[in-house]
Amino acid sequence: MQANQLQARVGATIVAVLSVLALAAPLLAPHPPNQQPDPAAARLRPPGSTLWAIELDSQWRLADRVERTADGLSFERLGRWQTVAADQVHNLTPTGVADRRRFWLGTDRFGRDLLSRLLYGARVSLAVASLAVLLAMTLGIGIGALAAASNRWVDGLLMRFVDGLLAFPRLFLLLALAALLRPSNTLLILLLGFTGWMTVSRLVRAELLSLKEREFALAARASGLSPLRILVRHLLPNALGPALALAPLSIGAVILTEAALSFLGLGIRPPQASWGNIISEGREYILSAWWISTLPGLAIALAVIGFNLLGDSLRDALDPRI
C-alpha cells in the first residue's frame, strides 16, 4: 500500500510539474521560442552560455566579449574584433553594454534558445496528447456502451469493426494518413484520437457485460427501469474506473507517437516547437551539440514515466478486486 501511494505521489508530482511548466511557458521562457537575434553568433551554443547583446540601429549583435573604448564599443564576434561608434549603440554603458543573453540549456542551429523551445514544446506535446486521448476516450466509451447495450448482431458487427482496426499497426496507419493529409495540429489530434479508441471500447464493453449480470443490475431491471436509464445511471458509472485508469497510460503512449511523427516530419510543423521536432532538428549534431536532441528526449521520457506511474496507481485505486 505504501509503495502504491509513493508511486501515485511521484507520478502525480511529475505530471503536475510538467503541466505547470507548460501552462506557464510564456512567463518562464527567457526568450520567445522562435527568436533569432543573431543566428550566426548564437548558433549551437552549449548549455550555460552567456553572450553580450549589443543593440545597434537596425539589429542586435551578440558578442563573446565587449570593451568600452573612447570612441564607442569594441566587441568580439565570431572570433573577430569589431568596433562601432558610440552613437550607433543604443544600450551603451560606461563599462560596455547593458544587456546579456543567457542560454541556460544552450541553443540550436538557428541560435534559438532551447529552454524556451522546450517549455513551449511541452505546451504543444501535452495539449495534443491530452486532447487526442480525450477524443479517444469519448469515442471508446460511447462505442463500447453501444455494443454492450445492443443485441448480439449489432454487438458482433461493432466488435468485428474494432478487430479490423486493431489488425492494422497504429503507427503505420498514422504514417500513411499523415503523409497523405499533411496534418495541421487539429488534424493531428483527430488522427491520434480516431486511431486510439478501440482498446477503450473493448474494455468498457467487457466491463458493462460483466456488470449487467450483477445483483444491482438485476434489481434495477426488476424494478422496471428502462435499459437506457440502467445503462446511464447504474452501469456506466461503475464501468468507467478501468477506462479512467487507462487515460494517463494512453497520454504517455500518445506523447511518444506524436514525437515519432514529428521526428519524421509528419507531425507538428516547424518552426512551432514540439519535443519530437526539436529532437529531429538536432539529430545532425548529436555528437557536436548533444543537448539539442538529448534534453527533449529526457523530457519525453520523464513525461511518459510520470503518466505511467499515475495510470498504474489509478488502476490499483479504482479496481475493486485490488
Residues 84 and 217 grouped into a single domain: no
How high is the pLDDT of residue 39? 92
Residues 82 and 155 grouped into a single domain: no
| Close Cβ partners of 272 (under 8 Å, ≥ 6 residues apart) | 124, 185
Burial class (CB in 10 A: 0-12, 13-18, 19+), 165: middle
* Domain contains 17: no
Residues 199 and 302 grouped into a single domain: yes
Residues 156 and 187 grouped into a single domain: yes
| Close Cβ partners of 110 (under 8 Å, ≥ 6 residues apart) | 36, 39, 43
Residues 75 and 146 grouped into a single domain: no
Inter-residue contact 188 to 178 (CB < 8 Å) = yes
Omega cis (within 30) before 271: yes
CA dihedral 79, 85, 91, 95 (to 10 degrees): 70
Residue type, 175: L
Residues 269 and 210 grouped into a single domain: yes
Residues 283 and 142 grouped into a single domain: yes
* Domain contains 1: no
Distance CA(247)–CA(314), nearest Å, equals 10
Distance CA(171)–CA(193), nearest Å, equals 13
**Domain final position from 65, 83, 103:** 103
Count up the domains in the chain and report the number. Answer: 2
* Domain contains 161: yes
Average pLDDT of the chain to the nearest whole number = 88
- DSSP per-residue letters across 93-119: ETTEESEEEEETT-B-TT--BHHHHHH
Residues 133 and 272 grouped into a single domain: yes
CA quadruple 247, 249, 251, 253: dihedral positive or negative?
negative
How high is the pLDDT of residue 174? 81
The pTM (predicted TM-score) of the whole model is 0.89
Residues 123 and 78 grouped into a single domain: no
Residues 140 and 228 grouped into a single domain: yes
* Domain contains 21: no
**Domain final position from 68, 103, 138:** 103
| CB atoms closer than 10 angstroms to residue 237 | 10
How high is the pLDDT of residue 319? 63
* Domain contains 241: yes
How high is the pLDDT of residue 22? 95
Residues 94 and 123 grouped into a single domain: no
Query: In whole angstroms, how large is the CA radius of gyration of the chain?
Result: 27
How high is the pLDDT of residue 321? 56
Q: Which CATH number does the domain housing residue 157 bear?
A: 1.10.3720.10
Q: Which residues of 167-176 are buried (b: 16+ CB within 10 A; e: fewer)?
A: eeeeeeebee
Domain with 74 in it? 49-103
Q: Which residues of 59-78 are buried (b: 16+ CB within 10 A; e: fewer)?
A: ebbbbeebebeeeebbbebe
Distance CA(274)–CA(279), nearest Å, equals 9
How high is the pLDDT of residue 30? 93
Strand partners, 77: 80
**Domain final position from 57, 79, 103:** 103
* Domain contains 245: yes
Residues 98 and 126 grouped into a single domain: no
How high is the pLDDT of residue 148? 87
How high is the pLDDT of residue 57? 81
Element housing 82 (H / E)? strand 80-85
Ranges under pLDDT 50 in the chain: none
Question: Residue 47: phi, psi to the nearest 5?
Answer: -55, 140
* Domain contains 223: yes
* Domain contains 220: yes
Closest CA to 245 of 167, 317, 190: 317
Question: Residue 94: phi, psi to the nearest 5?
Answer: -60, -20
